[in-house]
Amino acid sequence: MAILNIKNNIELSTTPISNEFIDTYMPKANGNFVKVYLYGYRFCYHCQHNLTSKEMAEKLDLLESDVIKAFQYWKEQGLMDFEWHDDDNIYIAYHMPSLSKEKDPKNLPDTKVENKNLHIHLEAKPDYSPEELTIYMKNPEISQLFKIAERYLGRMLNHNDLKVLYSLYDWLRLPLEVIELLLEHCISNNHRSIRYIEKVAITWVEEGITTVEKAKARMKVFNNDYREIMKCFGLTNRDPAPSEIQYMNKWINTFALDIVLEACKRTIAQTQKPSFQYTDSILKNWAKNKVKTLDDIEKLDAAYLQKKSMQSSPASNSSQTGDYYSKPSKFVNFKQRNWDFDELERLEREYLTKQLSEGR
Protein backbone atom coordinates (compact mmCIF):
# COMPACT_ATOMS: atom_id res chain seq x y z
CA MET A 1 0.00 0.00 0.00
CA ALA A 2 1.37 3.41 -0.97
CA ILE A 3 0.87 6.70 0.84
CA LEU A 4 -0.16 9.47 -1.52
CA ASN A 5 1.38 12.90 -1.02
CA ILE A 6 -0.72 15.20 -3.16
CA LYS A 7 -0.10 18.89 -3.69
CA ASN A 8 -1.25 21.46 -6.20
CA ASN A 9 0.54 24.28 -7.89
CA ILE A 10 -2.29 26.78 -7.46
CA GLU A 11 -4.35 27.94 -4.47
CA LEU A 12 -7.68 26.19 -4.13
CA SER A 13 -10.50 26.92 -1.70
CA THR A 14 -13.00 24.73 -3.59
CA THR A 15 -12.58 22.09 -6.26
CA PRO A 16 -12.79 24.00 -9.53
CA ILE A 17 -12.37 22.06 -12.75
CA SER A 18 -11.44 23.99 -15.85
CA ASN A 19 -13.64 23.84 -18.89
CA GLU A 20 -10.63 22.76 -20.92
CA PHE A 21 -10.28 19.64 -18.81
CA ILE A 22 -13.98 18.87 -19.27
CA ASP A 23 -14.04 19.66 -23.00
CA THR A 24 -10.66 18.34 -24.09
CA TYR A 25 -9.18 15.82 -21.66
CA MET A 26 -12.14 14.15 -20.00
CA PRO A 27 -13.95 12.81 -23.13
CA LYS A 28 -10.84 10.94 -24.28
CA ALA A 29 -9.98 9.37 -20.94
CA ASN A 30 -11.05 6.10 -19.42
CA GLY A 31 -13.95 6.75 -17.03
CA ASN A 32 -12.07 5.22 -14.10
CA PHE A 33 -9.11 7.48 -14.79
CA VAL A 34 -11.40 10.52 -14.63
CA LYS A 35 -12.75 9.32 -11.26
CA VAL A 36 -9.23 8.99 -9.88
CA TYR A 37 -8.20 12.40 -11.20
CA LEU A 38 -11.21 14.19 -9.73
CA TYR A 39 -11.06 12.42 -6.37
CA GLY A 40 -7.35 13.11 -5.99
CA TYR A 41 -7.94 16.68 -7.08
CA ARG A 42 -10.44 17.02 -4.25
CA PHE A 43 -7.69 16.26 -1.72
CA CYS A 44 -5.19 18.79 -2.99
CA TYR A 45 -6.01 20.97 0.03
CA HIS A 46 -7.84 20.60 3.34
CA CYS A 47 -6.98 16.93 3.58
CA GLN A 48 -7.16 15.82 7.23
CA HIS A 49 -4.92 12.81 6.78
CA ASN A 50 -2.56 11.23 4.28
CA LEU A 51 -4.69 9.56 1.65
CA THR A 52 -3.51 6.08 0.62
CA SER A 53 -3.88 4.42 -2.74
CA LYS A 54 -5.80 1.62 -1.04
CA GLU A 55 -8.27 4.06 0.51
CA MET A 56 -8.77 5.76 -2.85
CA ALA A 57 -9.34 2.41 -4.56
CA GLU A 58 -11.91 1.34 -1.96
CA LYS A 59 -13.68 4.69 -2.10
CA LEU A 60 -13.93 4.57 -5.89
CA ASP A 61 -14.69 0.83 -6.01
CA LEU A 62 -11.54 0.16 -8.06
CA LEU A 63 -8.42 -1.95 -7.78
CA GLU A 64 -5.33 -0.30 -6.36
CA SER A 65 -3.49 -1.12 -9.60
CA ASP A 66 -6.12 0.84 -11.52
CA VAL A 67 -5.43 3.87 -9.36
CA ILE A 68 -1.73 3.67 -10.21
CA LYS A 69 -2.56 3.27 -13.91
CA ALA A 70 -4.68 6.42 -13.72
CA PHE A 71 -1.79 8.40 -12.22
CA GLN A 72 0.48 7.24 -15.02
CA TYR A 73 -2.11 8.20 -17.65
CA TRP A 74 -2.55 11.75 -16.34
CA LYS A 75 1.20 12.15 -16.12
CA GLU A 76 1.41 11.28 -19.82
CA GLN A 77 -1.26 13.91 -20.51
CA GLY A 78 0.82 16.57 -18.74
CA LEU A 79 -1.77 17.22 -16.01
CA MET A 80 0.07 15.50 -13.19
CA ASP A 81 3.58 14.78 -11.93
CA PHE A 82 3.80 11.29 -10.53
CA GLU A 83 6.85 9.81 -8.76
CA TRP A 84 7.18 6.68 -6.66
CA HIS A 85 9.90 7.01 -4.01
CA ASP A 86 11.77 4.23 -2.28
CA ASP A 87 9.88 4.82 0.97
CA ASP A 88 6.71 3.52 -0.73
CA ASN A 89 5.33 7.03 -0.98
CA ILE A 90 3.84 8.41 -4.16
CA TYR A 91 4.39 12.12 -4.71
CA ILE A 92 1.79 13.72 -6.94
CA ALA A 93 1.54 17.29 -8.21
CA TYR A 94 -1.51 18.41 -10.15
CA HIS A 95 -1.26 20.95 -12.98
CA MET A 96 -4.18 22.96 -14.25
CA PRO A 97 -4.63 22.81 -18.03
CA SER A 98 -3.16 25.97 -19.55
CA LEU A 99 -5.10 28.04 -22.03
CA SER A 100 -1.91 29.24 -23.68
CA LYS A 101 -1.46 28.91 -27.42
CA GLU A 102 0.49 25.69 -26.96
CA LYS A 103 -2.31 24.19 -24.85
CA ASP A 104 -5.18 25.51 -26.95
CA PRO A 105 -7.60 22.61 -27.59
CA LYS A 106 -7.25 23.20 -31.32
CA ASN A 107 -3.51 22.65 -31.08
CA LEU A 108 -3.58 19.67 -28.75
CA PRO A 109 -2.50 16.37 -30.28
CA ASP A 110 -5.22 13.77 -30.41
CA THR A 111 -4.54 11.12 -27.79
CA LYS A 112 -6.43 8.48 -29.76
CA VAL A 113 -4.42 6.00 -31.73
CA GLU A 114 -4.00 7.37 -35.25
CA ASN A 115 -0.58 6.00 -36.22
CA LYS A 116 -1.07 3.42 -38.94
CA ASN A 117 2.42 2.06 -38.26
CA LEU A 118 1.58 1.28 -34.64
CA HIS A 119 2.18 -2.31 -33.62
CA ILE A 120 0.28 -3.84 -30.72
CA HIS A 121 2.15 -6.45 -28.68
CA LEU A 122 -0.03 -9.15 -27.15
CA GLU A 123 2.52 -9.55 -24.37
CA ALA A 124 1.45 -6.16 -23.02
CA LYS A 125 -2.19 -7.17 -22.61
CA PRO A 126 -3.30 -7.10 -18.94
CA ASP A 127 -4.48 -10.32 -17.34
CA TYR A 128 -7.73 -9.53 -15.53
CA SER A 129 -8.71 -11.70 -12.59
CA PRO A 130 -12.33 -12.79 -11.97
CA GLU A 131 -12.42 -10.38 -9.00
CA GLU A 132 -11.38 -7.48 -11.21
CA LEU A 133 -13.97 -8.30 -13.85
CA THR A 134 -16.65 -8.51 -11.16
CA ILE A 135 -15.81 -4.95 -10.15
CA TYR A 136 -15.77 -3.71 -13.73
CA MET A 137 -19.14 -5.30 -14.45
CA LYS A 138 -20.66 -2.89 -11.92
CA ASN A 139 -20.11 -0.22 -14.55
CA PRO A 140 -23.42 -0.12 -16.48
CA GLU A 141 -21.66 0.44 -19.80
CA ILE A 142 -19.35 -2.57 -19.34
CA SER A 143 -22.25 -4.71 -18.20
CA GLN A 144 -24.20 -3.65 -21.30
CA LEU A 145 -21.20 -4.50 -23.50
CA PHE A 146 -21.09 -8.03 -22.13
CA LYS A 147 -24.84 -8.46 -22.74
CA ILE A 148 -24.48 -7.24 -26.32
CA ALA A 149 -21.59 -9.67 -26.87
CA GLU A 150 -23.67 -12.55 -25.56
CA ARG A 151 -26.43 -11.64 -27.98
CA TYR A 152 -24.07 -11.47 -30.95
CA LEU A 153 -22.16 -14.64 -30.05
CA GLY A 154 -25.32 -16.53 -29.15
CA ARG A 155 -23.90 -18.06 -25.98
CA MET A 156 -22.93 -17.36 -22.39
CA LEU A 157 -19.57 -15.68 -21.98
CA ASN A 158 -16.79 -17.51 -20.16
CA HIS A 159 -13.97 -15.86 -18.21
CA ASN A 160 -11.68 -15.68 -21.26
CA ASP A 161 -14.42 -14.01 -23.30
CA LEU A 162 -14.90 -11.40 -20.60
CA LYS A 163 -11.15 -10.76 -20.37
CA VAL A 164 -10.79 -10.23 -24.11
CA LEU A 165 -13.86 -8.01 -24.40
CA TYR A 166 -12.83 -5.83 -21.48
CA SER A 167 -9.28 -5.59 -22.83
CA LEU A 168 -10.65 -4.07 -26.04
CA TYR A 169 -12.01 -1.25 -23.90
CA ASP A 170 -9.30 -0.95 -21.26
CA TRP A 171 -6.14 -2.03 -23.08
CA LEU A 172 -6.85 -1.03 -26.69
CA ARG A 173 -8.88 2.04 -25.65
CA LEU A 174 -11.66 1.34 -28.13
CA PRO A 175 -14.92 3.17 -27.41
CA LEU A 176 -17.83 0.91 -26.52
CA GLU A 177 -19.69 1.90 -29.70
CA VAL A 178 -16.70 0.83 -31.80
CA ILE A 179 -16.49 -2.51 -29.98
CA GLU A 180 -20.16 -3.13 -30.74
CA LEU A 181 -19.53 -2.38 -34.43
CA LEU A 182 -16.53 -4.70 -34.31
CA LEU A 183 -18.72 -7.52 -32.98
CA GLU A 184 -21.34 -6.83 -35.64
CA HIS A 185 -18.67 -6.87 -38.36
CA CYS A 186 -17.11 -10.18 -37.25
CA ILE A 187 -20.40 -11.99 -36.66
CA SER A 188 -21.88 -10.82 -39.97
CA ASN A 189 -18.87 -12.43 -41.68
CA ASN A 190 -19.42 -15.72 -39.80
CA HIS A 191 -16.58 -15.30 -37.32
CA ARG A 192 -17.61 -16.02 -33.73
CA SER A 193 -14.21 -16.91 -32.31
CA ILE A 194 -13.19 -14.52 -29.55
CA ARG A 195 -9.56 -14.84 -30.69
CA TYR A 196 -10.52 -13.78 -34.21
CA ILE A 197 -12.46 -10.81 -32.81
CA GLU A 198 -9.40 -9.79 -30.78
CA LYS A 199 -7.14 -10.03 -33.86
CA VAL A 200 -9.49 -7.82 -35.88
CA ALA A 201 -9.63 -5.31 -33.01
CA ILE A 202 -5.83 -5.13 -32.88
CA THR A 203 -5.70 -4.63 -36.66
CA TRP A 204 -8.21 -1.79 -36.39
CA VAL A 205 -6.19 -0.05 -33.67
CA GLU A 206 -2.95 -0.48 -35.61
CA GLU A 207 -4.62 1.11 -38.62
CA GLY A 208 -6.07 3.97 -36.57
CA ILE A 209 -9.69 2.79 -36.77
CA THR A 210 -10.77 4.01 -33.31
CA THR A 211 -13.90 6.02 -34.03
CA VAL A 212 -17.44 5.06 -35.03
CA GLU A 213 -17.08 6.90 -38.34
CA LYS A 214 -13.86 5.09 -39.26
CA ALA A 215 -15.23 1.74 -38.14
CA LYS A 216 -18.33 2.15 -40.31
CA ALA A 217 -16.17 3.18 -43.27
CA ARG A 218 -13.95 0.10 -42.80
CA MET A 219 -16.98 -2.17 -42.57
CA LYS A 220 -18.39 -0.69 -45.76
CA VAL A 221 -15.12 -1.20 -47.62
CA PHE A 222 -14.72 -4.75 -46.29
CA ASN A 223 -18.27 -5.81 -47.07
CA ASN A 224 -18.42 -4.11 -50.48
CA ASP A 225 -15.12 -3.36 -52.18
CA TYR A 226 -13.15 -6.29 -50.74
CA ARG A 227 -15.94 -8.71 -51.59
CA GLU A 228 -16.22 -7.40 -55.15
CA ILE A 229 -12.49 -7.81 -55.74
CA MET A 230 -12.43 -11.30 -54.22
CA LYS A 231 -15.48 -12.23 -56.29
CA CYS A 232 -13.79 -10.98 -59.46
CA PHE A 233 -10.84 -13.23 -58.62
CA GLY A 234 -13.17 -16.15 -57.95
CA LEU A 235 -12.16 -16.24 -54.28
CA THR A 236 -15.62 -16.36 -52.72
CA ASN A 237 -15.03 -19.19 -50.27
CA ARG A 238 -12.69 -17.38 -47.86
CA ASP A 239 -11.76 -14.05 -46.29
CA PRO A 240 -8.85 -12.06 -47.71
CA ALA A 241 -5.44 -12.64 -46.13
CA PRO A 242 -3.65 -9.69 -44.46
CA SER A 243 -1.24 -9.29 -47.39
CA GLU A 244 -4.19 -9.28 -49.81
CA ILE A 245 -5.93 -6.63 -47.71
CA GLN A 246 -2.80 -4.48 -47.95
CA TYR A 247 -2.89 -4.73 -51.73
CA MET A 248 -6.61 -3.96 -51.89
CA ASN A 249 -6.31 -1.00 -49.51
CA LYS A 250 -3.61 0.48 -51.73
CA TRP A 251 -5.69 -0.03 -54.87
CA ILE A 252 -8.90 1.35 -53.39
CA ASN A 253 -7.09 4.40 -52.03
CA THR A 254 -5.66 5.10 -55.50
CA PHE A 255 -8.37 4.09 -58.00
CA ALA A 256 -12.13 3.83 -58.28
CA LEU A 257 -13.46 0.30 -57.76
CA ASP A 258 -14.36 -0.19 -61.46
CA ILE A 259 -10.71 0.44 -62.42
CA VAL A 260 -9.51 -2.12 -59.88
CA LEU A 261 -12.02 -4.71 -61.10
CA GLU A 262 -10.90 -4.16 -64.70
CA ALA A 263 -7.31 -4.87 -63.67
CA CYS A 264 -8.47 -8.04 -61.89
CA LYS A 265 -10.33 -9.23 -65.02
CA ARG A 266 -7.24 -8.67 -67.16
CA THR A 267 -5.15 -10.58 -64.63
CA ILE A 268 -7.41 -13.64 -64.91
CA ALA A 269 -7.49 -13.36 -68.72
CA GLN A 270 -3.70 -13.23 -68.89
CA THR A 271 -2.65 -15.66 -66.14
CA GLN A 272 -5.77 -17.85 -65.80
CA LYS A 273 -5.50 -17.50 -62.02
CA PRO A 274 -5.87 -14.81 -59.32
CA SER A 275 -2.62 -12.94 -58.78
CA PHE A 276 -2.54 -9.89 -56.55
CA GLN A 277 1.05 -9.18 -57.63
CA TYR A 278 0.13 -9.20 -61.33
CA THR A 279 -2.89 -6.95 -60.75
CA ASP A 280 -0.67 -4.62 -58.75
CA SER A 281 1.74 -4.37 -61.68
CA ILE A 282 -1.14 -3.47 -64.01
CA LEU A 283 -2.39 -0.77 -61.66
CA LYS A 284 1.13 0.61 -61.18
CA ASN A 285 1.40 1.01 -64.95
CA TRP A 286 -2.00 2.72 -65.09
CA ALA A 287 -1.03 5.02 -62.24
CA LYS A 288 2.16 5.89 -64.12
CA ASN A 289 0.01 6.81 -67.13
CA LYS A 290 -2.39 8.81 -64.93
CA VAL A 291 -5.42 6.59 -65.53
CA LYS A 292 -8.52 7.87 -63.73
CA THR A 293 -11.44 6.35 -65.62
CA LEU A 294 -12.30 3.40 -67.85
CA ASP A 295 -12.18 5.79 -70.81
CA ASP A 296 -8.56 6.51 -69.97
CA ILE A 297 -7.85 2.78 -70.15
CA GLU A 298 -9.52 2.54 -73.57
CA LYS A 299 -7.40 5.44 -74.83
CA LEU A 300 -4.28 3.80 -73.44
CA ASP A 301 -5.21 0.52 -75.16
CA ALA A 302 -5.88 2.31 -78.45
CA ALA A 303 -2.52 4.08 -78.31
CA TYR A 304 -0.80 0.76 -77.64
CA LEU A 305 -2.53 -0.98 -80.57
CA GLN A 306 -1.70 1.91 -82.89
CA LYS A 307 1.94 1.75 -81.93
CA LYS A 308 1.96 -2.01 -82.42
CA SER A 309 0.33 -1.76 -85.86
CA MET A 310 2.88 0.81 -86.97
CA GLN A 311 5.69 -1.52 -85.98
CA SER A 312 4.16 -4.31 -88.09
CA SER A 313 3.01 -2.17 -91.07
CA PRO A 314 2.81 -3.70 -94.67
CA ALA A 315 5.88 -1.76 -95.81
CA SER A 316 8.00 -3.24 -93.13
CA ASN A 317 6.45 -6.66 -93.72
CA SER A 318 7.19 -6.60 -97.48
CA SER A 319 10.75 -5.56 -96.83
CA GLN A 320 11.18 -8.33 -94.33
CA THR A 321 9.47 -10.81 -96.68
CA GLY A 322 11.68 -9.80 -99.61
CA ASP A 323 14.78 -10.18 -97.53
CA TYR A 324 13.62 -13.58 -96.34
CA TYR A 325 12.81 -15.00 -99.76
CA SER A 326 15.85 -13.48 -101.42
CA LYS A 327 18.12 -15.60 -99.32
CA PRO A 328 18.98 -19.00 -100.86
CA SER A 329 17.76 -21.85 -98.74
CA LYS A 330 19.76 -24.85 -97.70
CA PHE A 331 17.63 -26.96 -100.01
CA VAL A 332 18.62 -24.85 -102.99
CA ASN A 333 22.30 -25.09 -102.04
CA PHE A 334 22.13 -28.89 -101.85
CA LYS A 335 24.37 -30.50 -104.50
CA GLN A 336 22.13 -32.82 -106.52
CA ARG A 337 23.34 -36.16 -107.99
CA ASN A 338 23.02 -37.15 -111.71
CA TRP A 339 21.80 -40.75 -112.01
CA ASP A 340 22.61 -43.14 -115.01
CA PHE A 341 19.46 -45.30 -115.25
CA ASP A 342 20.86 -47.55 -118.08
CA GLU A 343 23.81 -48.46 -115.92
CA LEU A 344 21.45 -49.21 -113.02
CA GLU A 345 19.38 -51.53 -115.19
CA ARG A 346 22.55 -53.37 -116.35
CA LEU A 347 23.75 -53.84 -112.78
CA GLU A 348 20.32 -55.20 -111.77
CA ARG A 349 20.43 -57.83 -114.65
CA GLU A 350 23.89 -58.98 -113.60
CA TYR A 351 22.73 -59.34 -110.01
CA LEU A 352 19.70 -61.48 -110.99
CA THR A 353 21.81 -63.71 -113.33
CA LYS A 354 24.30 -64.34 -110.54
CA GLN A 355 21.56 -65.28 -108.12
CA LEU A 356 20.03 -67.78 -110.56
CA SER A 357 23.41 -69.49 -111.32
CA GLU A 358 24.16 -69.92 -107.61
CA GLY A 359 20.78 -71.50 -107.08
CA ARG A 360 21.48 -74.41 -109.48
Q: Which residue has the higher pLDDT, 318 or 2?
A: 2
**Cα–Cα dist 46/297, whole Å:** 76
**Cα–Cα dist 162/148, whole Å:** 12
Task: Find out whether 4 and 50 touch, Cβ atoms under 8 Å.
Answer: yes
pLDDT tens-digit map of 276-324: 999 999 999 999 999 999 999 999 999 888 888 887 766 555 544 444 4
For residue 239, what pLDDT band results from cuts at 50, 70 and 90? confident
Cα atoms found within 13 Å of the Cα of residue 129, Cβ hemisphere only: 6
Q: What is the mean pLDDT of the chain?
A: 77
For residue 242, what pLDDT band results from cuts at 50, 70 and 90? confident
For residue 101, what pLDDT band results from cuts at 50, 70 and 90? very low
pLDDT tens-digit map of 157-168: 999 999 999 999
Q: Which helix (H) or strand (E) holds 199?
A: helix 194-206
Mean pLDDT of 129-152: 91
Query: How much is the pLDDT for 64?
Result: 74
**Cα–Cα dist 163/182, whole Å:** 16
Q: Give the neighbor-by-neighbor strand order of the sheet with 3-8.
A: 3-8, 89-94, 80-84
pTM: predicted TM-score of the whole model, two decimal places: 0.47
Residues 6+ apart with CB under 8 A from 61: 135, 138
**Cα–Cα dist 270/266, whole Å:** 6
CA 344 to chain centre: 89
Q: Which residue has the higher pLDDT, 159 or 245?
A: 159
* Window from 17-21, 81-85, 211-215 with minimum mean pLDDT: 81-85
Distances (CA, A) of 263 to 243, 259, 270, 286, 349: 18, 6, 10, 9, 79
Query: How much is the pLDDT for 221?
Result: 81
Please tell me whether residue 80 adopts helix, strand or coil conformation: strand
Mean pLDDT of 87-94: 63
For residue 22, what pLDDT band results from cuts at 50, 70 and 90? confident
Q: Which residue has the higher pLDDT, 98 or 81?
A: 81
Task: Find out whether 283 and 254 touch, Cβ atoms under 8 Å.
Answer: yes
264, 270, 272, 273 alpha-carbon torsion, rounded to 10°:
-40
Mean pLDDT is highest, among 3-12, 52-61, 193-202, for 193-202
Residue 178: exposed, middle, or buried by beta-carbon count in 10 A (0-12, 13-18, 19+)? buried
For residue 121, what pLDDT band results from cuts at 50, 70 and 90? low
Length of the chain: 360
Distances (CA, A) of 87 to 2, 23, 56, 174: 9, 37, 19, 36
Query: How much is the pLDDT for 111?
Result: 34
Q: Which residue has the higher pLDDT, 180 or 117?
A: 180
